[in-house]
Chains A and B, each alone.
Chain A
Amino acid sequence: SQQGEEDPQALSIQEGENATMNCSYKTSINNLQWYRQNSGRGLVHLILIRSNEREKHSGRLRVTLDTSKKSSSLLITVSRAADTASYFCATDSTGYKLSFGAGTTVTVRA
Chain B
Amino acid sequence: NAGVTQTPKFQVLKTGQSMTLQCAQDMNHNSMYWYRQDPGMGLRLIYYSASEGTTDKGEVPNGYNVSRLNKREFSLRLESAAPSQTSVYFCASLAGDEFIGAYEQYFGPGTRLTVT
Contact = CB atoms under 8 A, between A and B. Distances in A.
Please classify how large the interface on chain A is, using the bins under 10, 10 to 19, 20 to 34, 35 or more. Answer: 20 to 34
Given A42-B107, A43-B90, A96 B41 contact: no
A35 B35 CA distance: 15
A31 B101 contact: yes
Contacts of B40: 102
B104 A103 contact: no
Interface in B36-83: 40-45, 48, 50, 58-59
B104 A33 contact: yes
A96 B96 CA distance: 8
B25 interface: no
A42 B108 contact: yes
A100 B102 CA distance: 14
Nearest to B99: A95
A102 B42 CA distance: 4
Given A42-B90, A88-B42, A100-B42, A94 B98 contact: yes
A103 B42 contact: yes
A42 B102 contact: no
A31 B95 CA distance: 14
Given A95-B98, A100-B42, A42 B110 contact: yes
A100 B43 contact: yes
A48 B50 contact: no
Interface of B: 4, 31, 33, 35, 40-45, 48, 50, 58-59, 90, 92, 94, 96-99, 101-110
14 contacts: A2-B41, A2-B42, A30-B101, A31-B101, A33-B104, A43-B92, A44-B107, A45-B105, A94-B98, A95-B101, A98-B45, A100-B35, A102-B42, A103-B42
